[in-house]
A and B are shown apart, each in its own frame.
Chain A
């Protein structure tokens, strides 16, 4: 059995047994589910604050009655004097009152008196209903008949269909882009979390002088490789657990949604939530179809990104003596993990633009940006192939570079090496 393998196994086993691993594995899916479920639950259990707007109609066109019939929970016709209305508003019996002046239709304006506040929801409801009623009034005044008005008010449905070679299917671009964004953030976090684990563990072995014991039993390169493999296996294992746990949690949440909406089947519940414009519930009930290719690509870019950055982090930790050294030395590497995040909004908007293509092909950025693009658009095969080749090539480069720094660094103590010295270690090997 090779020493690298023994080291990898030790790293894996000693890490998955820690409390930290178990807790974070269980908590993350719980967090995701809560993030999705809580807003849905809130809309379900919420009893909205009852707003009441009194309507004082001086137009003589029954606008108050028409408003009340359009939204009876909001509008109440009234003929109380203004002072009384004012007092009732101040006494919080009414949210406000709407004054419809005699020439309201001609002037196309009404006045809403309120204490202010009340939230977007109330204002939107008032605005929409008032405009609707007024539009109808204007049309009637010009002699349009009711059937014509109803025709004019019909809303056109837009069904989004995506054209593929094999068949037509519902276009899930928006949803997939959202998932791509979420997953690229996951890659971003995992690169830092697992890169950080490798970095701290190399530093611990160096400062506790364990590395000298290891080096008396294995090649420095094998020590580094074993550690990166072991920690990477922990990351993959955790990712798989998260996937299974999250899927299970969503299945559970889905069945809860079905029962909450009072529907007998998932399809009925889906129709119910669609009609209520509840995107999140729709997402839970109808997971978009994600092809196996996308999953493989995600795992590939996560893994290669991890190997690329964690080897560099291992080299940095080997050159450092203290946490502070690490802070200084890691900056030129970490910046390449942060930079792609800044370009993500642009890539979400135009995933096929030349800039997006170029950025996603840069190996340091691929793990985050390729994942984003793969979900947001149809990436041509040659770009994927080029990215894979570039990624693997840069891993070889990173391993070579970090391996040389690691070999020299782990047995050097004292002054933190300057970047110039690091360059000399690399050149002289």
Chain B
């Protein structure tokens, strides 16, 4: 009995080790490829570097960072993701608080509308918003990309934060109001601090979403405002011959979210889980 359990457990362990190896291999492949020259790539697969580590160097990365297009694209990614995240969290927190605790006509019906908007896939908005941005001169600009991300991030964000803020005990808010706090002050000094976990999860989810986006930027950004994903996508056509650019570029674009992931595991998982209703 003990033996069979021990045996069973070893089989499970071995199986999971294999699964883990399968999962890490593609990523390891990308990383090692990013450290090899195009010439080495033409001669053999990245696994040959395991036996001849002399192939590995950071030359591709120095080259990449020296490439003005790439480093511009990297900064564009930051300039798109950070404002999109801050704006979504900020605007949604205001609206979420109002939907949860302030009274105004049509409140519940409006909130239902916001929830209904959760279903709208971004694809439906691409064409009309492109026309609209064209008329407003926002097409091809970073603010345009940001605005689109904010708008399509809002339904979920408002939904999440309203539900979270609604859990705040009524007595807490009443007490603050009794003390003569304005709504504005209550929002900053009570609601935001209490809502920190939800704000953090939402922020991480939104940051990741925008950082990793390609579709929106593919349409709304132009050559000078495009983020890393679009810049790399445009080079995929020559896949293989330019692996010394693609592999380090892809690694650069994924290392930021992966670091965020390891730094904020709990919020990250919660954010992704909650965000999956999107």
**Are chains A and B native binding partners rather than an unrelated pairing?**
no
A interface residues (Cβ-Cβ under 8 A, vs B):
none
B interface residues, Cβ below 8 angstroms from A: none
